Amino acid sequence: MNGYNSGYGSGGYQDKTVIDQYSAGYFRYNDQSQTVINAGDYAGGSSSGSSAGSGEWHIISQGNQADLQLKFNDGEVYEYGLTEQNGKTFLNDNRYFRTYSDSSVEDGRPECY
């Protein structure tokens, strides 16, 4: 998750990427972004976009580095450098939050089926 709100009504942005991983080696991916711009009483705009997909995930070990590899069903491949710092998960040096199916916060649970 990444976001900014100006606090003055002039706009902001929000990015959110969700990777639901299943123990069987499959994943669901959803990437959403939204930008809002307010430029006065009569001007402004917004844009949003999203991408989604699914496929198989693998952990690839390359020397001392571990990578998370996502192989989408359409043939596209994403690779993320996977690290952990003080119990926190990072992909390509960006903080990702791990969630669990038994989380007490329903919106924080992965969408497993």
Mean pLDDT to the nearest integer, 11-16: 70
User: Strand pairing partners for 101?
Assistant: none
The model's confidence at residue 96, banded by pLDDT at 50, 70 and 90, is confident
| Rounded Cα gap, residues 13 and 6, in angstroms | 9
- pLDDT of 3: 47
Residue 22 has pLDDT above 90, yes or no: no
Q: Is 36 helix (H, G, I), strand (E, B) or coil?
A: strand
Q: Phi-psi region for residue 86, left (φ > 0), alpha (ψ -120 to 50) or beta?
A: left
This prediction has a pTM of 0.66
Neighbouring C-beta atoms of residue 71, cutoff 10 Å: 16
Q: Which helix (H) or strand (E) holds 95?
A: strand 94-96
Nearest to 33 by CA among 17, 54, 52, 10: 17
Fold of 2-95: Lipocalin (2.40.128)
- pLDDT of 11: 65
| Rounded Cα gap, residues 113 and 108, in angstroms | 15
Of residues 3 and 83, which shows the higher confidence score?
83
Mean pLDDT to the nearest integer, 16-42: 76
Q: Is 23 helix (H, G, I), strand (E, B) or coil?
A: coil
